[in-house]
């Protein structure tokens, strides 16, 4: 079952954040993931959540998504994100079912 990593990122250092993006993007593909939403403007319909930079990635399963988010191999790259931005990240397991 597919899993989705959803990240709300508040970038504090836009210039150096580009370096993080250049390094993290290949890791998503290496783990069989793909970006579904990347930095798009969000329209608030209800509630008080004000996402800054919203990113949604799809991975083949929860285990792979969790590996991508927590493995030692990518930890230095994730540390760059934390240096240049503040991020809230979750993993959601699910599938698209339009049957009913």
Helix residue ranges, H only, the chain: 14-30, 62-70, 75-84
Decide: helix, strand or coil at residue 74: coil
The alpha carbon torsion through 79, 21, 24, 3 (nearest 10 deg) reads 100
Whole-number pLDDT of residue 60 = 97
Structural domains of the chain, with CATH? 3-42+51-93 (3.30.70.100)
Stated pTM of the model: 0.89
Whole-number pLDDT of residue 96 = 65
Say how far apart CA 25 and CA 97 lie, in whole Å. 28
Please name the helix (run of DSSP H) or strand (run of DSSP E) that holds residue 5, with its range, or none.
strand 3-11
Whole-number pLDDT of residue 37 = 96
Whole-number pLDDT of residue 39 = 86
Whole-number pLDDT of residue 54 = 95
Whole-number pLDDT of residue 99 = 66
Say how far apart CA 87 and CA 82 lie, in whole Å. 7
Backbone angles phi, psi at 54, to 5 degrees: -95, 135
Mean pLDDT by 10 residues, the chain (100 residues): 96 96 97 94 91 95 98 97 96 76
Whole-number pLDDT of residue 98 = 61
Decide: helix, strand or coil at residue 44: coil
Say how far apart CA 100 and CA 91 lie, in whole Å. 24
């Amino acid at each position: 079952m597919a899993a989705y990593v959803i990240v709300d990122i508040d970038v504090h250092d836009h210039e150096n954040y580009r370096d993080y993006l250049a390094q993290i993007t290949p890791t998503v593909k290496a783990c069989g993931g793909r970006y579904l939403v990347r930095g798009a403007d969000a329209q608030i319909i209800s509630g008080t959540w004000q996402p800054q930079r919203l990113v949604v990635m799809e991975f083949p399963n929860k285990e792979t998504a969790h590996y991508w988010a927590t493995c030692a191999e990518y930890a230095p790259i994730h540390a760059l994100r934390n240096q240049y931005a503040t991020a809230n990240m979750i993993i959601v397991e699910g599938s698209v079912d339009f049957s009913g």
